[in-house]
Amino acid sequence: MNINDFKFFQPIEVRWNDLDPIGHVNNIYYFEYFQIGRGHYMEKISSNWNWQQHMFVIAHIECDYLKETKLLEPNLKIGLRIARLGKKSFDFEYLLTSQTENNEAVIHAFGKSTQVLIDLKQGKSIEIPTWLREDIESYEGLV
């Protein structure tokens, strides 16, 4: 896990209701931050992506909590990259990061998820279209 392996970052704002009684972000909200990142990532990497026509479902998701996240973390952002590209599925990796006063990166959490592309009308998995595969490979340098 190296922050330099991630090209895409999306700012994240911690909301008051994300906090638990001891003042740090509750574990469930990390998955919401991952979801926010996924939406922005797909829009960024593919001009052809359309949430009304294309969809994937989460087949697996996990998160390792490394350092608590508080309300006013400086420059909090979620990093995403596609680490594996299969026939019908792909894997995201996530980094939730902030910065110290000396501009050093702090990693709060690392996560992974597997997405399966589906046909919304038929309700079944489909192969990743060539145009999406090319968009991902081009952005991530997977060629």
* Mean pLDDT over the full length of the chain: 94
What does the DSSP 8-state code read for residue 79? E
Which three-class secondary structure state does DSSP give residue 13? coil
Q: Helical H runs in the chain?
A: 27-45, 130-140
Mean pLDDT of 96-118: 95
| Average pLDDT rounded to a whole number, residues 112-138 | 94
Residue in the structure block whose two tokens are 């081009």: 138
Number of Cα atoms under 13 Å in the Cβ half of residue 32: 11
Could you tell me which residue, 132 or 54, shows the higher pLDDT?
Answer: 132
Distance between CA atoms of residues 136 and 2, nearest Å: 20
Domain that holds residue 106: 3-140
Q: How many domains does the chain divide into?
A: 1
Cβ neighbours of residue 67 closer than 8 Å, sequence gap 6 or more: 106, 107, 108, 109
What's the average model confidence in pLDDT over 4-22?
Answer: 96
- pLDDT of the residue at 143: 66
Encode pLDDT of 36-80 as tens digits: 999 999 999 999 988 877 899 999 999 999 999 999 999 999 999
Structural contact between residues 128 and 90, judged by C-beta atoms closer than 8 angstroms = yes
The CATH number of the domain where 123 resides is what?
3.10.129.10
Q: How far is 143 from 128, CA to CA, in rounded Å? A: 15
